[in-house]
Amino acid sequence: MKKFLLLSLLVVLSAQIFAQAPAAKKGNSAMANANVGHIYGKIVDSSGKPVAEASVLLMKTTLDTVSKKKKEVLVKGITTKSNGEFSMEDLPVFGSLTLKISAVGFKVHQQPVSFAPGGGGGSGAPPANAKPGNGMPPMGAMPSFDKDLGDIKMEQDITQLQGVTVTSSKPMMKLDIDKKVFNVEKNIVSAGGTALDVMRNVPSVQVDIDGNVKLRNAAPQIYIDGRPTTLTLDQIPADAIESVEVITNPSAKYDASGGNAGILNIVLKKNKKTGYNGNIMAGVDKRGAVNGGGNFNLRQGKFNLSAAVMANQMKNRTNGTTRRLNEGDTITNIAQDNYNKTNGAFVFGRLGADYFMTNRTTLSLSAMKVHGEFKPGETIDVRTDSLFNNSKISSYSQRLSNSQRTFNANGLQAGFKHNFKKEGEELTADANFFSGKNDGNAMYTTNYYDAPANGAITGTQYQKVLSDGTNSFLTIQTDYVRPFKGNSKIETGLRAQLRNTTSNNNTYMQYAGASDFIKIPAAASNYKNSDNVYAAYVSVTSSIKDFGYKLGLRAESSNYNGELTNLNQKFNNKYPISLFPSVFLSQKLKKNQELQMSYTRRINRPNFFQLIPYTDYTDSLNITQGNPNLVPEFTNSIEASYSKTFKGNNNILASVYYKHTDNLITRYLQTSTNPVTGQEDKINTYVNANSSYSTGAEITSINYLTKWWDVTANVNVYNSKINTDNISGTSQDALWSWFGKFNNNFKLPKNFSIQLSADYQSKTNLPVNNQQGFGPPMSQAQASSQGYIKPFWGMDAAIKKSFLKNNAATITLSASDIFGTRRSDQVSYGDGFVQDYYRLTNPHMFKLNFTYRFGKMDASIFKRQNNKSQGEGMQGATQGMQ
């Protein structure tokens, strides 16, 4: 009976093999070509840490029909992942197979592989009784077509390590089908600064002196590690950033919000090297503002721990002027000269842990903390000339402001990742929570004079603004990737984004001659809102020879609820499910050339600051007010790109693009009643314009001119127009503009390096959707559809010296806006007014920074072999941190 069952089992197995095997060619057996085998495993060193980028080759011994001798032919070859894992599929199950593994610093490892029971699987080493043969399974044994080779240990090649020094450098730009990745780790100009300084040297990205970031003249979404954040760019240290992903046309995988701009994804540094390592840094600028901090990473066994803390002090200075001509029954000429002085500091901390449950499953948890305190102060001299029929009357005043603002932001991220046995198949799930709290206390003192200089004070008015607020941002997301044969894969996911905001602003006035403060109810705003977005997406990626495509569809629905708590007024918006398709096509050409084309549809929902009906009139020339009646805008984008890689890894990327937006949300300056004075005044608010378009061409080039000199250049030429016929009956003319960046890196002898960069912005329309909050006076941009920015340029430079053993220490001296030319000069005009708004912030800024790297990559010091080794290991770690 047992023999009968065994015989039946072999018959069924043989039938399955023949059913899966390809048709036999002449002279060959179908049995010999059964490619249904699968092997996988993990490459580790003697201490158990993974070996990444190891070469894994599977060889097969065959008979050469010409020479009649046996020879080895390659069946398949791959490299290991960063966690040391590898996987090979569609392998022949018969024949003499040998696995060969090589990696820099290790001896070549090889072992036979057999799909017979006990043959070449499980232990990572060949069986003791293994003998070369034809690989046929023995009769009566059950073959297995899925072999886990386990952890394969590599032996270090001591002689090779002593004689070879391996150096590697990440490419400055990596082009993917839906994004460009710029490596910024070696950007020495931004040393000791914030993410704003980093963005100034990233191609395609523009940064104005107020910290507003533009991507092709529109404000992008800011992400951290692929998820939205409540942090602003000036709250993220430059030294914590590894790379920046510029996504001009986001695919269906990404959040559809962002409207006519793309996404800037900031990838923070992560270190999972076995052992311990870290660095400390400190710096100071020309005004005495200091920065400093450090990070530390420990990897042992199944755990990886990381910690970072950094602090930045700022002492900003801004000079500016505002000139406005108001026409009407009385022509009024207003001139403001202002000087702003802001002192403050923020502290950034991050703590993370990874737990490697298995070689395919990882759990991650990290926490982030940011605290900041700022004290902006400003002096504004104002002269007002009013022209009447027979005379001119002039008035003079000076406003002094002293404010204090604090904010606290907290973030918590939890993640799960599982790699399935099938290479490329993975499931991820993560939750991200960010919350923030802010408080403000501002006092504005306005003195009125009878003469412009050394005149007597005729009256004094006091204005006090007390504010506080909170916000929270919860994102829950899961993604699944399933690869198929060839280069095909399907990606799908679910996402929920929940945001809650509260804000309280109360204004008090003490008029000239009065002794008490009076609360102004019309200028008070106590407000809260919730904004929820739910989404699902699916995308398919595949290729046919050199033609690749990625097709995606995203579905999103959202709702918005707001309440003016002091007035008990409620309003809400519910947006039904909208579909957002995306199409990405690529064609690889000969001689390292590639063509790409993409289409996407996106949405931009009005944010909290644009919807809130609060009026900020702390600056009489820049009164701002939200509009609760705004509706979302929808943007359709088309982009085509050409890339070519030349000899020496030089490359060029050229793109043309077109974007069209309906119901564009834009700033607009209109006449309305000032709730404080009761008089007609110019108030800057937000409106939905009919539409807008932007079209242009962009070129990015990276060239390694010599071994010691590389150049990155970026030029963007564009045309844009906003149609405001539905608001004013007329629209300003379309405007051609261009923007350029030029970055040089020089490697000099004695471990010196120099970086020199410059940027230029021609006359251009004001950016749309800058999404600023109610910032300090004089920081508000004027209406996007009613003006332009005058041309400006700037130049930065830095020099770095590396020293000590293994260049562990570096010192960097950097200078930004060397010639004091990176100014902001905005011209606005409309019905009855013309205004010029000029500012210059922190020209000729110098910074000096020092960094020291330390670490030990040998994890053996942490092995608990005995008390002595444990104590010595901890002592070594302590000394390394000193």
Encode pLDDT of 323-357 as tens digits. Answer: 988 887 778 899 999 999 999 999 999 999 989 88
Using 50, 70 and 90 to split pLDDT, how confident is the model at 677?
A: low
Hey, where are the domains in the chain? Answer: 1-33, 38-124+144-165, 174-268, 275-319+331-860
Q: Exposure of 711 by Cβ count < 10 A (0-12 exposed, 13-18 middle, 19+ buried)?
A: middle
pLDDT for residue 783 is more than 50: no
CA angle 862, 863, 868 (to 5 degrees): 85
Architecture in CATH for domain 38-124+144-165:
Sandwich (2.60)
Q: Which two tokens stand for residue 762?
A: 């021609």
Q: Region 200-205: what's the mean pLDDT?
A: 78
pLDDT computed for residue 20 by the predictor:
39
pLDDT for residue 302 is more than 90: no
Alpha-carbon distance 533 to 393, whole Å?
55
DSSP annotation of 160 reads H
Edge-to-edge strand order for the sheet containing 146-153? 85-92, 35-44, 146-153
pLDDT computed for residue 286 by the predictor:
95
The answer for residues whose C-beta is within 8 angstroms of residue 128's C-beta and 6 or more apart is none
Q: Which two tokens stand for residue 383?
A: 């002269």
Alpha-carbon distance 250 to 263, whole Å?
7
Using 50, 70 and 90 to split pLDDT, how confident is the model at 402?
A: very high
pLDDT computed for residue 868 by the predictor:
33
Range list of H helices, 92-163: 158-163
pTM of the model: 0.68
Using 50, 70 and 90 to split pLDDT, how confident is the model at 865?
A: very low
Alpha-carbon distance 497 to 433, whole Å?
10
Alpha-carbon distance 772 to 364, whole Å?
33
Strands (DSSP E) contained in 327-456 are 331-356, 361-387, 392-419, 426-449
pLDDT computed for residue 551 by the predictor:
95
How many other C-beta atoms can be found within 10 angstroms of the C-beta atom of residue 477?
19
DSSP output for 805-862: GGG-EEEEEEEESTTS---EEEEEEETTEEEEEEEEESTTEEEEEEEEEEEE--GGGG
Alpha-carbon distance 459 to 513, whole Å?
7
pLDDT computed for residue 338 by the predictor:
92
DSSP annotation of 732 reads P
Q: CATH homologous superfamily for 275-319+331-860?
A: TonB-dependent receptor, beta-barrel domain (2.40.170.20)
Using 50, 70 and 90 to split pLDDT, how confident is the model at 258?
A: low
pLDDT for residue 24 is more than 60: no
Closest Cα to residue 368, out of 210, 567, 229?
Answer: 229
Backbone angle region of 211, left / alpha / beta, with phi > 0 → left and psi within -120 to 50 → alpha:
left
Alpha-carbon distance 214 to 262, whole Å?
9
Architecture in CATH for domain 174-268:
Beta Complex (2.170)
How many other C-beta atoms can be found within 10 angstroms of the C-beta atom of residue 831?
14
pLDDT computed for residue 767 by the predictor:
63
Q: Which two tokens stand for residue 39?
A: 């092997």
How many alpha carbons fall within 13 Å on the CB side of residue 805? 2
Q: Region 299-327: what's the mean pLDDT?
A: 88
User: How do residues 595-651 score in pLDDT, each as one tens digit?
Assistant: 999 999 988 888 766 877 767 766 666 677 888 788 888 989 999 999 898 887 788
Question: Which SS3 state, helix, strand or coil, does residue 41 take?
Answer: strand
Using 50, 70 and 90 to split pLDDT, how confident is the model at 371?
A: very high
Average pLDDT, the chain: 79
Using 50, 70 and 90 to split pLDDT, how confident is the model at 273?
A: low
User: How do residues 549-574 score in pLDDT, each as one tens digit?
Assistant: 999 999 999 888 888 888 788 878 78
User: How do residues 29-82 score in pLDDT, each as one tens digit?
Assistant: 444 446 778 888 889 888 888 888 888 998 888 877 767 778 788 888 888 888
Using 50, 70 and 90 to split pLDDT, how confident is the model at 818?
A: very high
Closest Cα to residue 401, out of 446, 467, 459?
Answer: 446
Question: Which SS3 state, helix, strand or coil, does residue 404 take?
Answer: strand
Using 50, 70 and 90 to split pLDDT, how confident is the model at 749?
A: very high
Q: Which two tokens stand for residue 627?
A: 């509009």
User: How do residues 520-550 score in pLDDT, each as one tens digit?
Assistant: 887 777 888 898 999 999 999 999 988 989 9
118 touches 137 (CB < 8 A): no
pLDDT for residue 221 is more than 50: yes
Alpha-carbon distance 107 to 105, whole Å?
7
How many other C-beta atoms can be found within 10 angstroms of the C-beta atom of residue 192?
28
382 touches 622 (CB < 8 A): no
Give 646 or 276, the one with higher predicted confidence: 646
Q: Region 760-787: what's the mean pLDDT?
A: 56
Q: Are strands 752-761 and 735-748 parallel, antiparallel or unpaired?
A: antiparallel
Which stretch of 381-385, 440-444, 573-577, 766-770 has the lowest confidence by average pLDDT?
766-770
609 touches 772 (CB < 8 A): yes
Percent share of the chain, pLDDT over 70: 79
87 touches 93 (CB < 8 A): no
pLDDT for residue 11 is more than 60: no
pLDDT computed for residue 607 by the predictor:
73
Q: Region 785-797: what's the mean pLDDT?
A: 87
491 touches 539 (CB < 8 A): yes
Alpha-carbon distance 854 to 120, whole Å?
41
State the DSSP H helix or E strand holding residue 324, giving kind and residue range, or none if neither: strand 303-326
Q: Which two tokens stand for residue 272?
A: 């999972």
**From residue 262, how far is each of 217, 226, 680 by CA, in Å?**
11, 13, 38
pLDDT for residue 862 is more than 50: no
pLDDT computed for residue 726 by the predictor:
74
Which stretch of 15-29, 357-371, 455-469 has the lowest confidence by average pLDDT?
15-29
Closest Cα to residue 218, out of 706, 875, 667?
Answer: 667
pLDDT for residue 739 is more than 80: yes
Q: Region 832-860: what's the mean pLDDT?
A: 82
pLDDT computed for residue 186 by the predictor:
65
Using 50, 70 and 90 to split pLDDT, how confident is the model at 479?
A: very high
Torsion angle, alpha carbons of 127, 129, 132, 136, to 10: -80
Which stretch of 152-156, 414-418, 466-470, 841-845 has the lowest confidence by average pLDDT?
152-156
pLDDT computed for residue 301 by the predictor:
75
The answer for residues whose C-beta is within 8 angstroms of residue 474's C-beta and 6 or more apart is 431, 432, 433, 496, 497, 498, 499
Using 50, 70 and 90 to split pLDDT, how confident is the model at 866?
A: very low
The answer for residues whose C-beta is within 8 angstroms of residue 501's C-beta and 6 or more apart is 469, 470, 471, 472, 527, 528, 529, 530, 531, 608
Closest Cα to residue 295, out of 285, 286, 287, 305?
Answer: 305
Alpha-carbon distance 29 to 558, whole Å?
61
Alpha-carbon distance 124 to 237, whole Å?
44
Which stretch of 123-127, 644-648, 695-699 has the lowest confidence by average pLDDT?
123-127
Give 152 or 228, the one with higher predicted confidence: 152
State the DSSP H helix or E strand holding residue 18, giving kind and residue range, or none if neither: helix 2-20
pLDDT for residue 777 is more than 80: no
Closest Cα to residue 762, out of 788, 734, 731?
Answer: 788
pLDDT for residue 848 is more than 90: yes
